[in-house]
Chains A and B, each alone.
Chain A
Amino acid sequence: MAMQAREIEAMIREALPDARIEIRDLAGDGDHYSAIVVSESFRGLTRVKQHQIVYDALKGKMGGQLHALALQTSAP
């Protein structure tokens, strides 16, 4: 079961409206993506917390429907 890049982006956007989000389909199979997410709300948080926020935004799809999302997060 694959996910569309824009679907992933929309879910992240909903949780982090200010974010700059770049999603790339790494393998062209709708299953291996990389995402760069830059948001003010990450400031001062550890990387684990930052990734946690993105995973929460994806509401359990990560690790299930979405097999691989290489994630890079930072504050602007």
Chain B
Amino acid sequence: MSEAIHAFIDNEVKSNDVVLFMKGTPDFPMCGFSGQVVQILNYLGVPYKGVNVLESDDLRNGIKSYTNWPTIPQLYVKGEFVGGCDIVREMFQQGELLGHLKGAGVPVKTPA
């Protein structure tokens, strides 16, 4: 069933440096976990694309099987899965996320 949706996801992941599959939009997150990752990315001033999985059930289920990861949000940087909310938050708190983004060549606002 999921070949078309996997191709769509694959294209999003490969044609954007930073993509967040989330519930809702960056301006209006519909779930606390998605909202936390949005706040972190905004804090770091990272340009990213938000993909709202609530727009289609195919997408909502497709991203889970594409990544083999059971929950949403899911953050991709340069085509590589970084993690869900818990991992992103932990990496952010330990200063690893900034290094990961910089290492991937993504522009970030270095916090003063």
List residues of A whose CB falls within 8 A of some B CB. Answer: 47-48, 51-52, 55, 60, 62-64, 68, 70-72
Contact = CB atoms under 8 A, between A and B. Distances in A.
B90 A60 contact: no
Interface centre among A47, A62, A64, A71 (most CB of B within 10 A): A47
Residue from B69, B86, B91 having most chain A Cβ neighbours under 10 A: B86
Nearest to B86: A71
Contacts of A48: 69, 81-83, 87
A17 B70 CA distance: 23
B112 to A, nearest CB: 28
B16 interface: no
Interface residues of B, number: 15
Main secondary structure of the interface of A (DSSP, over half): mixed
B52 interface: no
Given A47-B91, A48-B81, A63-B64, A70 B86 contact: yes
Given A48-B81, A71-B86, 18 more contacts: A47-B87, A47-B90, A48-B69, A48-B82, A48-B83, A51-B83, A51-B84, A51-B86, A51-B87, A52-B68, A52-B69, A55-B69, A55-B70, A63-B64, A63-B71, A70-B86, A72-B86, A72-B90
Interface string B45-89: 000000000000000000010001111000000000111111100
